Amino acid sequence: MRVAGIDIGSRSIELVVLEELEIVESRQADTGFDPMRQAQALLNGVTYDRIIATGYGRNLFEISFDAPTVTEIKAYAVGASSLFPSVGTILDIGGQDSKAIALNANGRISKFEMNDRCAAGTGKFLEIMARSLGYTLDEFGMEALRATKNLQINSMCTVFAESEVTSLVAKGEDRREIARGLHSSVVRRAVSMLKRVSISGDIVFAGGVAKNPCMRRLLEETLEQPVLVPKDPQMVGALGAALLAGENNDI
């Protein structure tokens, strides 16, 4: 049986196709202004017996493609557990939301927290801050790692934080130290979410922000334990949806 999972996020769309529980194809595209057209383009030439959608655009996909859906929370729990059976806590930081998920001993969701109403602590926040400092997103994390200290960033509101960064640059503060301070502020917010769901077992860090090396290091230093990052952290939700599609039961 050939099954697929598609994760329609606010910034990107991921597709995973499984055959006999093995990944046979994975694709990614920007969400753009027309998510369903992008989803259709991503699916061109792909064959599958069943597909399940997740992500913020899953309801549109359900209407357009007559396909079942699953919440991001469940998709990430299933995807992360398949990659790391020892996982007890999941942190997902995507483009415009972040999630902390706690799993019980049976791998089922016991509690979760989600921030989807504010850009603070998300990939969008980091993208805007990188631009305000004259860095590309790829440079941002690497340069922050080279800082010798943090500069305290007081505001987590994107608009006010950008203004604060501009003021610090005008005062001649080191860009790397500002970048480090911005990363630290996001980590503090993420760790606060994790603590509210109760951290247990191994921690898996997923989503696009998991590619940021400074975020990974600061998380590990703050939590005082290793953080597991999938090879393709943005594919975890799509993988979970595909695995659920293979279960052949109602979601």
Which tens digits make up the pLDDT trace of 107-134? 899 999 998 667 778 899 999 999 999 9
- pLDDT for the residue 141: 97
35, 151: one domain:
no
Q: Are residues 251 and 219 in the same domain?
A: no
Can you give the pLDDT at residue 158? 81
pTM of the complete model: 0.93
Q: What is the pLDDT of residues 44-75, one digit of tens each?
A: 999 999 999 999 999 999 999 999 999 999 99
- According to the model, what pLDDT value does residue 31 have? 95
Q: How many domains does the chain have?
A: 2
Average pLDDT, the chain: 94
Helix 123-132 and helix 137-145, axial crossing angle in degrees, nearest 10: 80
Residue 31, number of CB atoms within 10 A of its CB: 18
Quickly tell me which residue has 């994107």 as its tokens: 158
Helix, strand, coil % over all residues of the chain, rounded to 5: 45, 25, 35
Q: Is the same domain home to 78 and 92?
A: no
What percentage of residues in the chain have a pLDDT greater than 90?
84
Claim to verify: residue 80 and residue 93 sit in the same structural domain:
no
pLDDT at position 118, please?
72
> Is the distance from CB of 239 to CB of 82 less than 8 angstroms?
yes
Range of the domain at 56: 1-84+232-251
Strand segments (E) across the chain: 2-8, 12-19, 22-30, 50-54, 87-93, 98-103, 109-115, 202-206, 227-228
pLDDT score recorded for residue 248:
61
CATH number at residue 106: 3.30.420.40
Are 104 and 218 in the same domain? yes
Query: Tens of pLDDT along 171-230?
Result: 999 999 999 999 999 999 999 999 999 999 999 999 999 999 999 999 999 999 999 999
Provide the pLDDT for residue 249.
Answer: 56
Distance from C-alpha of 12 to C-alpha of 28, rounded to nearest angstrom: 7
Q: How confident is the model at residue 157 (pLDDT cuts 50, 70, 90)?
A: confident
113 and 207 co-located in one domain: yes
